[in-house]
Each structure stands twice: as structure tokens, then as C-alpha cells.
Amino acid sequence: MSWAVLGYGLSVVVFLCGKMIRAADYVGRDNDDVMRLVQVRDLLAGQSWFDLTQVRLGLDGGTLMHWSRLIDLPIAALITLFKPFAGAESAEAMALAVWPMILVLPLMAAMGLAGRRAGGPQCMHFCLFFTAIFVVTSNRFQAGSIDHHNVQLVLAAVMIAMLVDRQYRAESFAIAGVAAALAIAIGAETTPFVAVICLLVAVLWACEGQRFAAAATAFGAALATTVSAAFFLTVPPHLYAAVTCDSLSLAFFSLSALGGGLLAVSALAASRLGRFGRLLVLGLNGVITAGFALGIAPQCLKNPLDDLDPLLWELWLDNVTEAQSFLALARQGSGGLGAFYFSGFFALAICAWRIRRRDRVALHLILGSLVLVTWCIALMQVRGAVFSNLIAILPASLLLVDLRTNSMRERRRALASLIYAVAVLVSVPAVWALAGELATNGAADLAGNGDRRQGWGLCTSAEAMTDLRQLPPTLVVDPSNMGASILRFTEHRALSAPYHRNPEGMLTELRIGLAAPEEAAHMLRRLGNPVIAFCAKDPQTRLVIEKAHDGLYSQLNAGKVPDFLDALPVTPGTGLKLFRLKH
């Protein structure tokens, strides 16, 4: 297996290196990649390990971010390693190239192991093949992609590989418990997935009893121990009692530790009971955990973004592609629907068909449950599709093993081979992405896809930021898409960036853009002596212009500079315009 993993993994890394050479920037295109680099820089500059405040973001006092230092640490370590012989900027570029590619091999190894355990060597090769396609067609493992989602994908693959161990080895489930705890510590997005993993382990114990006791004990103890260690290693003491629903806090820590501890104790003490007795114990554990959740963090049972101001929903979140629902994408006629949803749906159909035929029922119940939870999350927010597409690889690979075998021994080999080939194609999300793009926009538009963001992307380029960097440090009133780049390239404070923990900063910028010039002048003066960074091609700025035709941004877009503003010199061609209050 190790040679197969190396072969597929190194091929993927070589392909990614080729893409890296053609990249215009060493940081990923996502705002989160840029902001992660800013956070790592702050850590290297001496900011406390426990202090996640982005002091240059938002209104006075900064913005307390919710990202884990567990991701900052390896990136900072790589930069520190490369800096003595490469210099600061080159060290960053090297670290940001190496980190995502380091993660490729553990992802390939986990998916290969899952395939081997579930369906043997043929299934392993199918899993490795589809995972390789998944990696090279995704942006999560490209050079510069340093957000935490790639680590979460690796941890999800590890959990799946451990859960399909049909020998129920304790070490496998201990690894699954560690991976589950790390996933919780790194980001709240995978909490529903981890909850289903925990539920599946608990149900396996209730059904298998003594045979599964060591595995259940190992999983529960590893989960409780690791999440406790992560909590005390990353959460500052003054926030031990704080409850947040978008990061590791007392809520997720206590629930995970309690649930893991109860499972471990139950497996040690009650495994010799009959199945009904074990189900009663499991039900009691569930009641205790649910009651504790309702008592300590009832607010975490809803979407933490539900409390955002309606204006932020209208002008920001409703227009973020990864936060949109299936229905929203369908109304827009998005060509990506197949890529986001068909692989998961196909995997669910495979699992249901297998279960109905009584074919490896336990295995397909596990896989079907994991695909279902991630696919349902994707229906609400499309960002979940990357997880359902990854997990869908395993049921699809199991099916293809059987179809390939049938195609080699059926009399009607031509038909069987055709079915096999079609199944291979429909299992690849990239095929659906290509088909959807062609059907929606045509081949000509597909060829020009790389230039879609070029217009407003110029406003966040290093060239555009050069003009800002030449000004003395001050507050910049900016559209949210520019915030991370301002923090990366300059010493200024950015009023707005696309993060829900900075709602007041985002709202202030939007209200300034929407307000009539006279009212906007008063709002700007209350901020001191800020600089306005205006980008007419920015998507959010366009929405503000369309919403308020008499607002400040509409006036600036029409070339009408109010009397209270001075235009500052800018580099031609970037699309960025800078203004400052007249003294």
C-alpha cells in the first residue's frame, strides 16, 4: 500500500508544483488564506499564543478572531525554518507552498487505507485515483492554500479510515478519537460530522458489546483527552468560562470531553450487558449529554450567523458563494450544482441500494450516514460539498470494484464495460463541473474563466496596495474584499474584512457607502482621519451603488467627488481610488 500511496501522492504533488509555477501570487486567492498569513505574521512578530485579536481590523480595539493556533504553528515553524537562508518574503512563499503539499500524502494514505479496509486492493486503487483527481481539481491543496479546511479534510479522511476497520482494533479507534478532537479544536464547521462519528461509534458499541469494548474505550478516552489538551493549550485562562459557537470554547470542549468520557466508562463497565441494556446505557448517556448542552450552550444549537444584522445578510453573506444554499444556487442557474451535489447523491443511492440488498450493511450504514450529514450541510451551505464529495469516493469505489469485475466476465461485456465507464465518469465532481459550465456558459466562457475576478482583483493586488503603503498608517474605509490584503501589504488598519466577528466594522463601511454625502462626511469624521479605498469593480461596492443611487459610493462611481474629500494620487490601471477628508 505504501508504494501505491507514494506513487499517487507524488504524482499529485508534481502536478500541483506545475500549477504553482504559473501562479501570480504565492498566497491563495481566498481571503482566508491572506488573513491566515496575517495571523501567522503577528504570531512570529511576538503576539501572544493565546491572543487572537487582529488589532488592525475593525473599529478601535480590533477584532478577536476565532481561528486556531494549531494551524498557525506549523506554518510559522516552516517560515522560521526557511527564513535564515531564504529571507523573509521567500521564506513565506516556500512555507505557503510546502504546507498544503505536505497534507497531500496523509490524505492519500488515509483514503487508500479506507479503501483497502473496506474493499481490498482494487478498492484502494480506485480511492487513490479519485482522491488524486479530487486534490488536483480542488483549490484546497494548491500552493498558498493555508486555511484550515485542508487539514479538516485530512482529519475527516483519517476518521473514515479508522471507522471502517472491521477488526475493531483499539488503536484505530484511538486515532479516530484524536482526529475527531483535533477537528473540533481547529474549526466548528466539522462539528456535525464529528457528532455523527461519535454517534456511530456509540451505536457500534451498543450493537457489538464486548467485541467492541476496547475500541469504544479507546475512542472515548482519546477524544476526551485530546480535546482537553487542545482546550488548555489554545484557550487563554480568562476565557475558560466563555461560550462561543464558532470556535473551541467551554461549550464544545465540555460536551466532547463529557461525551467521550461517558462512552469510555460505559464501555468499561457495561459491555457485558445484553444489547437492550447497552442501548439503555447509551440512551442515558445521550440524555445527560443533551441536557448538559441545553444547560451550558443552548445558543450553539442554532447557526451562529443568524444574529447578524439584515444589512450584512443582504450585502455580504447572501452573495458569498460558499455560504449559499442549494435553492439559492438553483435560482441563479449555477452550472456548479452537479459538481457540488451529484457525487454525494450518487453515493447515498449506492449505500441505500447496498443496504436494501443486505450487502455489507454495517459498512454502508456508516458511509451513508457520513455522506448524508455532509450532503445535508451542503444543501444549506455549499461549502459542505467538499466533504461530501470526498466521502463519496469510498462508496463509489466499492461499486466500481464490482462493476469492473462484472465487465470482465459478463457475456455482454460491451454493455457491462459501458456501464462501468459511465459510473467512473459520474463519480468525478470535476466532470459535473465541466459539464455544468459548458451547459450554462458555453465553451467560450469556460476558456475565459481565469479572468473573471481580474477586474476587482486588481484592487487587492500588490500594485494597488503600494499606493496605500506610501501613506502614514491610518484607518482605511474599505470594501470587505480588500480588508485582508490591506492588512497583508500595509501597516494600516482596515475597517472591514469578510469575517462575522467584525460586524460593526463591516456595517460602518456599508452605511458610509450607502449614506448621502453630507451624512457620510459626519460618519467619516467620527472615525478620525481615515482614507477611503474605493473600488468600483468590487462586487459588494456594486451592490451598495445599486442600492443607494444618491449614496456616497454612487457619487464616487459617477466621478462626483464631494467637497469634503480630496482625491489622492494612485497608480493607473489598478481600479483603486483613494480619498481623504479635507482638513
Q: Are 234 and 50 in contact (CB under 8 A)?
A: yes
User: What pLDDT was estimated at residue 179?
Assistant: 98
Per-residue model confidence as pLDDT tens digits over 515-550: 999 999 999 999 998 999 999 999 999 999 999 999
Q: Residue 35's closest CA among 195, 169, 184, 144?
A: 144
As a whole number, the mean pLDDT across the chain is: 93
Res. 420: pLDDT tops 70: yes
- Separation CA 363–CA 355 (nearest Å): 9
User: What pLDDT was estimated at residue 443?
Assistant: 57
Q: Are 117 and 176 in contact (CB under 8 A)?
A: no
Record the cell numbers describing residue 522, joined without a space: 459626519
- Separation CA 477–CA 532 (nearest Å): 5
Res. 571: pLDDT tops 90: no
Could you give the 3-state DSSP secondary structure of residue 58? Answer: coil
Question: What does the CA dihedral 551, 556, 558, 559 come to, rounded to 10 degrees?
Answer: 150
Per-residue model confidence as pLDDT tens digits over 31-72: 999 999 999 999 999 999 999 999 999 999 999 999 999 999
- Separation CA 320–CA 304 (nearest Å): 16
Residue 534's Cβ-count burial label (10 Å; 0-12, 13-18, 19+) is: buried
Pairing of strands 493-494, 475-477: parallel
Per-residue model confidence as pLDDT tens digits over 196-212: 999 999 999 999 999 99
Q: Nearest-5° angle of CA 336, CA 339, CA 345?
A: 125
Q: Are 578 and 534 in contact (CB under 8 A)?
A: yes
Per-residue model confidence as pLDDT tens digits over 103-132: 999 999 999 999 999 999 999 999 999 999
**What is the number of residues in the chain?**
583
* Residues 544-562, mean pLDDT to the nearest whole number: 95
Q: Residue 537's closest CA among 485, 496, 574, 510?
A: 574
Record the cell numbers describing residue 209, joined without a space: 458489546
Q: Which helix (H) or strand (E) holds 565?
A: strand 565-568
Lowest mean pLDDT among 15-29, 80-94, 407-421, 469-483: 407-421
- The residue with cell 498557525 is 72
Question: What does the CA dihedral 424, 425, 429, 434 come to, rounded to 10 degrees?
Answer: 160
Per-residue model confidence as pLDDT tens digits over 273-288: 999 999 999 999 999 9
User: What pLDDT was estimated at residue 456?
Assistant: 60
Record the cell numbers describing residue 9, joined without a space: 501522492
Instruction: Give the rounded percent of residues in the chain with a pLDDT score beyond 90.
Output: 82
- Separation CA 549–CA 559 (nearest Å): 13
User: What pLDDT was estimated at residue 411?
Assistant: 64
Q: Residue 424's closest CA among 153, 133, 137, 138?
A: 133
Pairing of strands 531-535, 63-64: unpaired
* Residues 12-23, mean pLDDT to the nearest whole number: 92
User: What pLDDT was estimated at residue 332?
Assistant: 83
Record the cell numbers describing residue 91, joined without a space: 521564506
Res. 445: pLDDT tops 70: no
> Residue 270 region, left (φ>0) first, then alpha (ψ -120 to 50), else beta?
alpha
Res. 572: pLDDT tops 90: no
Record the cell numbers describing residue 374, joined without a space: 455532509
- Separation CA 321–CA 318 (nearest Å): 8
* Residues 439-448, mean pLDDT to the nearest whole number: 58
Sign of CA dihedral 391, 224, 295, 289: positive
Q: Are 347 and 396 in contact (CB under 8 A)?
A: yes
Pairing of strands 531-535, 475-477: parallel
- Separation CA 236–CA 254 (nearest Å): 16
